[in-house]
């Protein structure tokens, strides 16, 4: 694949792919970089490059997550044997970290669809193929995830707000 095309793909999709990988692993930039390296090594370009990148990133992130869980298990055992040094501070109001935490609390199938659709720009049909489900199922997961996010963040759905009399 031509380096110029890979450069344009990186510019257009790397940030969304990083966000997509972040839901599974702690080093999403590494996973995305590896996906682009794999793309560059392809003798022929995949027929649908962007969904192919999402699939490669997903598989890489899941593999990285398994390795992270093994490492975290060993670190948690070591940390349990030593005293805590700091008391965490309470963040004031809603911020990006709170929103990210709320997103992380969603079931993976809902979170994956939200990230792939909103930040990745994939259609529900493409998301369905990526996740092994139908476009309708992808949309239902998307809608359920957004409703759960609104509920967790205390943000009412615009459709459900009472109308004010004129």
Question: Per-residue pLDDT tens for 31-67?
Answer: 999 999 999 999 999 999 999 999 999 999 999 999 9
Contact 127, 117 (CB under 8 A): yes
Q: Is residue 164 part of a domain?
A: no
Asked whether residue 22 falls in the same domain as residue 71, the answer is yes
Report the greatest alpha carbon distance in the chain. 64
Could you tell me the CA-to-CA distances from 148 to 18, 64, 68, 78, 96 in Å, in that order? 23, 27, 27, 35, 17
pLDDT in tens, 101-143: 888 999 999 999 999 998 899 999 999 999 999 999 999 999 9
Instruction: Tell me the CB-side half-sphere exposure of residue 70, using CA atoms within 13 A.
Output: 5
Length reported for the chain:
166
Asked whether residue 127 falls in the same domain as residue 78, the answer is no
Asked whether residue 9 falls in the same domain as residue 60, the answer is yes
Q: Is residue 32 part of a domain?
A: yes
Asked whether residue 128 falls in the same domain as residue 68, the answer is no
Domain limits at 58? 1-82
For the domain that residue 142 is a member of, what is the CATH number? 1.10.10.10
């Amino acid at each position: 694949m031509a380096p110029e095309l890979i450069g344009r793909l990186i510019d257009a999709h790397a940030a969304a792919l990083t966000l997509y990988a972040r839901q599974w692993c702690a080093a999403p930039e590494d996973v995305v970089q590896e996906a682009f390296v794999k793309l560059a090594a392809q003798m022929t370009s995949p027929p649908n490059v962007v969904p192919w990148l999402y699939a490669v990133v997903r598989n890489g992130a899941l593999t990285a997550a398994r390795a992270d869980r093994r490492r975290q298990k060993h670190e948690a055992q070591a940390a349990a044997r030593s005293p805590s040094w700091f008391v965490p501070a309470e963040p004031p109001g809603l911020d990006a970290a709170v929103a990210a935490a709320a997103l992380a609390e969603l079931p993976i199938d809902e979170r994956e669809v939200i990230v792939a659709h909103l930040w990745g720009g994939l259609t529900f049909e493409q998301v369905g193929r990526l996740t092994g489900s139908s476009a309708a199922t992808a949309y239902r997961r998307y809608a359920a995830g957004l409703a759960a996010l609104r509920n967790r963040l205390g943000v009412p759905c615009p459709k459900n707000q009472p109308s004010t009399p004129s």
